[in-house]
Chains A and B, each alone.
Chain A
Amino acid sequence: MEHPTTNTQAESSASVNDFCMTLCTVNGSGSATANTILYRALFNMGIPTSGKNIFPSNIKGLPTWFVIRVSERGYLGRVPYDDIIVAMNADTFQKDLSYLPEGGVVFYADHLQKPADARTDVVYYPMPIRQFVRQAEVPRNLREYMENMAYVGVVGQVLGIPLENIEYALTKHFGSRQNALESNLNMIKTGFAWAAANLTKQDRYSVRKLAPLTDCILTDGNNAAALGALFGGAQFCSWYPITPASSLVESMIAQNPKLRRDPQTGKNTCIILQVEDELAAAGAAIGAGWAGLRAMTATSGPGLSLMTENIGLAYFTETPVVIWDVQRVGPSTGLPTRTAQGDLAMVYRLGHGDINHILLIPGSVNECFEFGWKAFDIAEHYQTPVFVMSDLDLGMNQWITDKFAYPDRPIDRGRILWEEDLARFEGSWGRYKDIEGDGIPWRTVMGNQNPAAPYFTRGTGHDEYGNYSEDPQNWAEMIQRIKRKLQNSCEYLPEPILREKPGARLGIIAMGSTDPAVVEGQDQLEQAGLPADYLRIRALPVCAAVREFLENHDRVYVLELNRDGQLYGILIQELQAFSQKLFSLAEVDGLPMTAAWVKQQIIVKEQQNG
């Protein structure tokens, strides 16, 4: 049996509950389960942890990495290095080694060829996992999968993850599937016992239990969005598969029967329908929204490109519909399995002609749930498409997040008129008439039996009653009213969140899933003597609080995960008076933002500006 070797002395300073570990595996090998077990065991120990899956657009055979960051202080953004790697992929072994700092740790399957010129300044723990699997007489088809389970035991033992927490994670994962639970647990125990008997701890990384995270849950943003939609009363979802949005609708399909049986009849109250393409997905959702259903679809950038004409129709016919954009990297097919915030500018003005939309931008898994239900209220209240701008990092990765809070207000169906309601208007109702003076008209929907209810919906020019019109004044008034309607929506949208630092004259504006990186970067800047306040925008159009933030700061950096600074572009256009104060810091490479980047970029810019 090969024994662990150390070529350097591990640094003396212990690192407890503060490291980054990457599990380097081959996709399709079943490593996802093993990685989830490790991640969940850490969560069960009460340690703030994040898990990011960096995976290829492929089914089997290409490298994939699962990055677990453990941070007692609660920093859950990505870091651009590893402290520990678990090497299970021969093809990437050499390169994976290069991400380690001096004194870093390498767990590796001992059947992998350790590179001849492998680094000597790190700690190596070889793992005889094939031997474990052989001894356990695992059926041939499960061997590769079980090899992954074996490393869970070894790594867990060396880091100090108690078996009971691993067992809890297994129970959560396998539920009532007793056989699967047992065979997996046995393999983990084998690795665990072997490590205890044969490995001497030589590195500085370990974990220890903290108070349980009782107010937190572990799930992904797409699942949260699906649940939010179902708690928001979604009645119709048409969709077309696309990474990284598919799992959102698949979660809806899984949860719908449990959550949305009509309490009176036991029948379904939400229809989920896969259709032939994204044009149909958008068209069907718009048809449903027009007919008075809470309707939605979920897609990503390429799908939105296809939906564009339909979105213009919904905007101009004032049809409520909710569209989730789980962003991936574009242009074109781009990087389908990597994350970005590159659709913002397109979506904000999606469609030809004079157009702009309401966007909600969740910054946590919890907000994916919250905006999941709120989006319907907003769409129906303003009778317009509402986009929820998630991304792959938020949507497909498991996050520790606050427990979901039950909606704190009743469902808002907006201004909708049924048979008896029409009498109130004494014949003066018109579908596009601004009766209340706030730009939001009243609408009737298909099925209303009052002979005065039906109207003709058209994407062509129309007057207040829906009649065809090419009248110049009518057109100008119609398009201005819709603009006014959306400008007024700010009061109803999620307000920005301000995180302040004492004495800050600098400002940071960011949005969405970059939140953990920005928060950590903000703290690091403070330590470096550059205190900055941070405003996280959660919706567009731009609201008054953003203007106020700009008024109160000398320089404001807009941080985002795209090439050209799309949020920055929207801000300088809508808040031109402040354009001298605004600076864009934007970059995209497919990976989530890091605090190190935030800090470094702002320091460099400050040196230029200061």
Chain B
Amino acid sequence: MDNTQTARTERNFVGLSPVDYRGKPSTLCPGCGHNTISNQIQQAIYELGLMPEMVAKFSGIGCSSKSLNYFLQRSFGFNGLHGRMPTLVTGACFADRRIKALGTSGDGDTASIGLGHFKHIIRRNVPMVYIIENNGVYGLTKGQFSATSDLGLELKHQGKNFLPPLDLCMEALISGAKFVARAFSGDIKQMKELLKAAVMHNGIAVIDVISPCVTFNNRDEALQSYTWGRENEAPIQDITYVPRARTIEIKDFQEGETREVRLHDGSSILLKKIDRDYDPTDKNAALDLLTESYKNHYFATGLIYIENAPTNIYDEFDFVEEPLNRLTPDRLRPEPAALERINQLYQ
């Protein structure tokens, strides 16, 4: 039985098959890391058993943003402007707070033109999954340096990069993100588990996915290449998402143990230690990890930081629970008496 046949017969607990979560055929380059991400997004949403209509997709401009069309065809999608994806989500999310917002962005989109919006949507804690498909290069404009390109990177028409890269996990952390992860397109199991946990996180969840560009930036020594990634990846934990688990508190853990982090909705993330102690609830440890991994040229992946997020931006506005975009006109226009009072007041 081939994959498609399996996909047609398989069902998740809302009765849909993986096919219901697919998108349009990808027009990205064969082997592009972004295609892997698209596949894992649709797989994660399928396994979570979310109706596709309960997800809304957003993106900016670039290859990563184009990929929005290649998964979840049955979800509303908005492919907007370069770097401005977070602004669209900020407005749209208030229309129906049941909807899970999911944004895909690239390193050009997020680290350069949209860096301000990236940091500010984190400050606002708009509940969404913010995925950066980070390949360290501009693909759609054919091979220019991005703000995550490594120092000294050489590209065909650009020469040598003289600027140091930004670390987007670092930027997310210092902006106050309560869910920060790094994944690799060459490690699909980890990516899928991170995605599931991110979707269920009650606030903004940032996942920086190193996603090689096979056309413009995949030389073996390049920081965002498949080879470099495979040779240097050092997952900080083995991660499993467990839906709606029993009540588990964040526990201290010792070597060899598994740490369980409970999410707002009652589901949890199991983090199994790999080769050293790492406490993802310690922000300083997270910053140290990022600094050290860049300095020592290894590629730390996994759940870098998580903090319980009991509230998000919705809690600041005390607005109606039901979808705001379904309120009938009689609930939107004040009564004539209210205007009469104003007219009297201004006399």
Complex CA gap A410/B332 in Å reads 11
**In the complex, which residues of chain B have a beta carbon less than 8 angstroms from the beta carbon of A609?**
none
Chain B contributes a number of interface residues (CB within 8 A of A) equal to 57
Q: B79–A456 contact, CB under 8 A?
A: yes
**In the complex, which residues of chain B have a beta carbon less than 8 angstroms from the beta carbon of A446?**
56, 76, 92, 95-96, 99, 325
Question: What 0/1 pattern do residues 86 to 125 of B give for CB contact below 8 A with A?
Answer: 1111111111101100000000000000001100100000
**Given A267-B321, A404-B342, is A293 in contact with B90 using a C-beta cutoff of 8 Å?**
no
**Given A313-B81, A445-B325, A446-B96, is A268 in contact with B87 using a C-beta cutoff of 8 Å?**
no
Stretch from A159-167, A273-281, A599-607 at the B interface: A273-281
B214 to chain A, nearest CB (A): 22
**In the complex, which residues of chain B have a beta carbon less than 8 angstroms from the beta carbon of A448?**
53, 76
**In the complex, which residues of chain A have a beta carbon less than 8 angstroms from the beta carbon of B120?**
275-276, 280
Closest residue of chain A to B78 (Cβ to Cβ) is A457
B80 to chain A, nearest CB (A): 6
- Residues 211-235 of A contacting B (Cβ, < 8 Å): 214, 216-219, 227, 230-233, 235
Complex CA gap A230/B331 in Å reads 11
A360 to chain B, nearest CB (A): 19
- Residues 191-244 of B contacting A (Cβ, < 8 Å): none
Asked whether A406 is an interface residue with its Cβ less than 8 Å from the other chain, the reply is: yes
Q: A235–B74 contact, CB under 8 A?
A: no
**In the complex, which residues of chain A have a beta carbon less than 8 angstroms from the beta carbon of B317?**
268, 271
Q: A269–B81 contact, CB under 8 A?
A: no
**Given A267-B318, A267-B319, is A284 in contact with B334 using a C-beta cutoff of 8 Å?**
no
Q: A403–B343 contact, CB under 8 A?
A: yes
Asked whether A241 is an interface residue with its Cβ less than 8 Å from the other chain, the reply is: no
Q: B331–A287 contact, CB under 8 A?
A: no
Asked whether A289 is an interface residue with its Cβ less than 8 Å from the other chain, the reply is: yes
Question: What 0/1 pattern do residues 326 to 337 of B give for CB contact below 8 A with A?
Answer: 110111111010
**Given A279-B87, A453-B53, is A287 in contact with B92 using a C-beta cutoff of 8 Å?**
yes
Asked whether A595 is an interface residue with its Cβ less than 8 Å from the other chain, the reply is: no
**In the complex, which residues of chain A have a beta carbon less than 8 angstroms from the beta carbon of B321?**
265, 267
Q: B79–A262 contact, CB under 8 A?
A: no
Complex CA gap A457/B76 in Å reads 8
Closest residue of chain B to A413 (Cβ to Cβ) is B329
- Residues 67-91 of B contacting A (Cβ, < 8 Å): 68-69, 73-81, 84, 86-91
Q: B333–A273 contact, CB under 8 A?
A: no
- Residues 441-474 of A contacting B (Cβ, < 8 Å): 444-451, 453-460, 468
Asked whether A32 is an interface residue with its Cβ less than 8 Å from the other chain, the reply is: no
Asked whether B339 is an interface residue with its Cβ less than 8 Å from the other chain, the reply is: yes
Q: B343–A287 contact, CB under 8 A?
A: no
Complex CA gap A361/B283 in Å reads 53
Q: Which of B87, B94, B320, B330 contacts A275 (CB 8 A)?
A: B87
Q: A217–B325 contact, CB under 8 A?
A: no
A584 to chain B, nearest CB (A): 36
Complex CA gap A199/B261 in Å reads 82
Q: Which of A279, A291, A457 contacts B91 (CB 8 A)?
A: A291
**Given A275-B120, A447-B326, is A269 in contact with B319 using a C-beta cutoff of 8 Å?**
yes
**In the complex, which residues of chain A have a beta carbon less than 8 angstroms from the beta carbon of B116?**
276-277, 280
Q: B325–A283 contact, CB under 8 A?
A: no
Complex CA gap A290/B96 in Å reads 12
**Given A283-B90, A284-B87, is A291 in contact with B325 using a C-beta cutoff of 8 Å?**
yes
**In the complex, which residues of chain A have a beta carbon less than 8 angstroms from the beta carbon of B331?**
262-264, 269
Asked whether A80 is an interface residue with its Cβ less than 8 Å from the other chain, the reply is: no
Asked whether B1 is an interface residue with its Cβ less than 8 Å from the other chain, the reply is: no
Asked whether A532 is an interface residue with its Cβ less than 8 Å from the other chain, the reply is: no
> Which of A264, A271, A283, A413: most chain B Cβ within 10 A?
A283
Asked whether A292 is an interface residue with its Cβ less than 8 Å from the other chain, the reply is: yes
B278 to chain A, nearest CB (A): 33
> Which of B74, B90, B327, B346: most chain A Cβ within 10 A?
B346
Q: A269–B320 contact, CB under 8 A?
A: yes
Q: A289–B91 contact, CB under 8 A?
A: yes
Complex CA gap A83/B91 in Å reads 51
Q: A283–B84 contact, CB under 8 A?
A: yes
Asked whether A295 is an interface residue with its Cβ less than 8 Å from the other chain, the reply is: yes
Complex CA gap A276/B122 in Å reads 12
**In the complex, which residues of chain A have a beta carbon less than 8 angstroms from the beta carbon of B80?**
283, 286, 313, 457, 459
**Given A262-B320, A293-B95, is A280 in contact with B87 using a C-beta cutoff of 8 Å?**
yes
Complex CA gap A373/B339 in Å reads 13
Complex CA gap A225/B117 in Å reads 28
**Given A410-B329, A449-B51, A451-B53, is A217 in contact with B347 using a C-beta cutoff of 8 Å?**
yes
Complex CA gap A217/B196 in Å reads 57
A256 to chain B, nearest CB (A): 10
Q: Which of B53, B77, B332 contacts A457 (CB 8 A)?
A: B77
A164 to chain B, nearest CB (A): 15
Complex CA gap A264/B88 in Å reads 29
Complex CA gap A469/B8 in Å reads 29
Closest residue of chain A to B341 (Cβ to Cβ) is A258
**In the complex, which residues of chain B have a beta carbon less than 8 angstroms from the beta carbon of A447?**
95-96, 98-99, 323, 325-326
- Residues 178-234 of A contacting B (Cβ, < 8 Å): 214, 216-219, 227, 230-233
**In the complex, which residues of chain A have a beta carbon less than 8 angstroms from the beta carbon of B81?**
283, 309-310, 313, 459
Q: List 6 A-B contacts (CB under 8 A).
A: A233-B332, A262-B327, A263-B330, A271-B317, A291-B96, A404-B342
Closest 8 CB pairs of A and B: A283-B87, A287-B91, A233-B332, A288-B91, A292-B325, A291-B95, A447-B96, A287-B88
